[in-house]
A and B are shown apart, each in its own frame.
Chain A
Amino acid sequence: MNPLNKIIFLSAFLASGFLLILLSCALYNNFKPLWVILIFLLAPLPNIVSSSIDNNRDDFLRFNSSDMNNPSPVQEFCKSLTGFLIVSGVALPLTFYHTNLVEFGSMLMSIVGGLIVYFDITIFIWFFSEEEDENDDFNF
């Protein structure tokens, strides 16, 4: 699959995710689920930041710097922050639904749309980091 097709498909999925979240707001005329977009856009960010910090660090006197043998505290903090943000993105619409701030359909659409957006960004990063170095793990 050439990169152009990948980009086209991924952007189509991304657009459908955004469409679902916007529909969940607009159909019920209640714009609280828009925060889900913000959370899921922030979710891949800590790993990007930590990997760029790790790449720019001085590798002198560190054996096996590229693999995950001894992850730095910054990296681990960013990982747990990622987990926190993903679960937050799912839990925010659930909380809204439980407290009668949004309807059930709105909750469902915003959760599904947010997960689509998140996994789309993850797959995008994974595809294009795979071409640079072959043996990279799931970088989500």
Chain B
Amino acid sequence: MENSNHLFRFNLSMLHLPKSAKLRSFGVYLAGGLYAIGFWSIIDAAIYSKTVNASIVHVTFVDWIPFICSTLGMLIVNSIEKSNLFVDSNNSFSGSGGNTNAWAARVILFLGFALLAGGLAGSFMVFILKFLLKQYTFPTLGMGVSNIVCNACIMLSCITLWLSQNIEDEYSYNLAL
């Protein structure tokens, strides 16, 4: 490697995403679908706890907190304008305003990812503390499992949306300096 301003020997730009507009829109559809799977998974757990539940354990507000965290995190992560994130600190064209903007964007992005990861971790915590430690058997355990499925699907949906928004068409001009 002749240009040695990379931090690691394997740089990530070796790994190019395939460029096509159809793949991009398919990814966006897939993200919506994955979010729907997660959403319906937790709705299913809630209705199940109300109707055919044979045990005394019910889905309460505690089970909804991870879902709310994940959803907020996904909303935050995907509503950030991504061109703000990659502003170089020594880029003289962006001026003085661009730098603080990039910092704010990075902080908010960090918050969003923290909410997403916190949602997933919270669903595991609910599963372990509320269901696994009290040694419930499977029909009851299913409510905790669907909570995990819900949050994992929302995270996958967020990843899919992020990746597919970084796909650019090969004929589009990259005007960002």
**Chain A: interface size category:** 20 to 34
* CB pair A99 B52 closer than 8 Å: yes
Query: Is A69 in contact with chain B by the CB < 8 A criterion?
Result: yes
Partner of A82, one of B32, B161, B171: B32
* CB pair A95 B47 closer than 8 Å: yes
Also in contact, A80 and B161, with CB within 8 A (given A68-B25, A99-B44, A99-B47): yes
Interface residues in A62-92 (C-beta closer than 8 Å to B): 63-64, 67-71, 76, 79-88, 91-92
A64 to B172, CA, bound (A): 9
Query: Is B3 in contact with chain A by the CB < 8 A criterion?
Result: no
Query: Is B22 in contact with chain A by the CB < 8 A criterion?
Result: yes
* CB pair A87 B33 closer than 8 Å: yes
**Which of B35-43, B63-71, B93-101, B106-114 faces chain A?**
B35-43
* A contact residues around B24 at 8 Å (CB): 68, 71
Also in contact, A100 and B40, with CB within 8 A (given A68-B169, A83-B33): no
* CB pair B44 A80 closer than 8 Å: no
Query: Is B124 in contact with chain A by the CB < 8 A criterion?
Result: no
* B contact residues around A86 at 8 Å (CB): 33, 36
A98 to B40, CA, bound (A): 12
A78 to B154, CA, bound (A): 18
Partner of A99, one of B29, B30, B31, B51: B51
The binding surface of chain A is classed by DSSP as: helix
* CB pair B51 A100 closer than 8 Å: yes
Interface residues in A103-139 (C-beta closer than 8 Å to B): 137
* A contact residues around B51 at 8 Å (CB): 99-101
* A contact residues around B161 at 8 Å (CB): 80
Partner of A84, one of B35, B48, B50, B171: B35
Interface residues of B (CB under 8 A from A): 21-22, 24-25, 28-33, 35-37, 39-40, 43-44, 47-48, 50-52, 161, 165, 169, 171-173
Interface residues of A (CB under 8 A from B): 63-64, 67-71, 76, 79-88, 91-92, 94-95, 98-101, 137
Additional A-B contact list (20), CB under 8 Å, known A68-B24, A71-B25: A64-B171, A64-B172, A67-B21, A68-B21, A69-B171, A69-B172, A70-B169, A79-B29, A80-B161, A84-B32, A84-B33, A84-B35, A85-B36, A86-B36, A88-B39, A91-B40, A91-B44, A95-B40, A99-B47, A101-B51
